[in-house]
Amino acid sequence: MDAMSGTFARARAGVMRAAYTRPSAYVCGLFNLLILLALLPVIAQAADTQANPYAGLPVRKAGLWEVTIQAHSPAGMGGRVQPAMTVLQCTDAKAERVVPLFLLPAREGCQRITVKKNAARGSHEVSTVCQTHGQRMDMQLTLRGDMQARYDGTYRIQHPATPSNNTGQVPFEGRWLGRCKPGQRAGDMVLPNGITVNTVDDARRASEHAH
């Protein structure tokens, strides 16, 4: 069992249950979220400014964020339009260092990560080349916003070996709701089907397993 299988397996199980009770468009949207979960960290390590390639990115305010992946069409012609999907994310500064935005991949599985600030546009541009389950996955992300009350942007994922799995430009946005709910911990992410996964816990377990 690989390092991030705890988070991924629980989310995948929830998708399979939803397949029996929800419309197909809803289930397709959840599978799109699984693509993002596959990019979550495989090993958690403390990162200093010199070692962390994401150090140039702004950090979200601690608390509960509502993050929506907007409706979008996949790359190519004739693909099914994916409906908008919303998750809730409880975070703090430590969790953001483990999983930036709960979206970007950890550096341990990546051959290249670049972060560039575009002052003219008020945005940050992120490009990653990583390996997930032995397959290369390239991601490009644009991020805008103050990260205190809201942010938005787009991302695109490409699979050189299986281009049919490529995404088009996917818009996303986040807004701060306040403090995390009682009982929630930093790293908790509530998926659209109600399942909660904690990405920080899974990364820590993966690190212990690796050692």
- pLDDT value, residue 36: 55
Q: For residue 47, what pLDDT is reported?
A: 38
The pLDDT score that the predictor gives to residue 95 is 86
Two tokens at 131? 């390996």
The tokens for 184 are: 């929630």
Q: What is the pLDDT of residues 63-108, one digit of tens each?
A: 999 999 888 766 655 567 778 889 999 999 888 877 777 677 766 6
Q: What is the pTM of this model?
A: 0.71
> What pLDDT, on the 0 to 100 scale, is given for residue 41?
40
CB burial string 101-134: b at 16+ within 10 A, e below: bbbbbbbbbbeebebeeeeeeeebebebbbebee
Mean pLDDT of all residues belonging to the chain: 75
Asked if pLDDT for residue 8 goes beyond 90, the answer is no
Q: Is 18 exposed, middle or buried (0-12, 13-18, 19+ CB in 10 A)?
A: buried
Per-residue pLDDT at 94: 86
> Across the strands, what pairs with 85?
69
Q: What is the pLDDT of residue 138?
A: 92
Between residues 109 and 127, the one the model is more confident about: 127
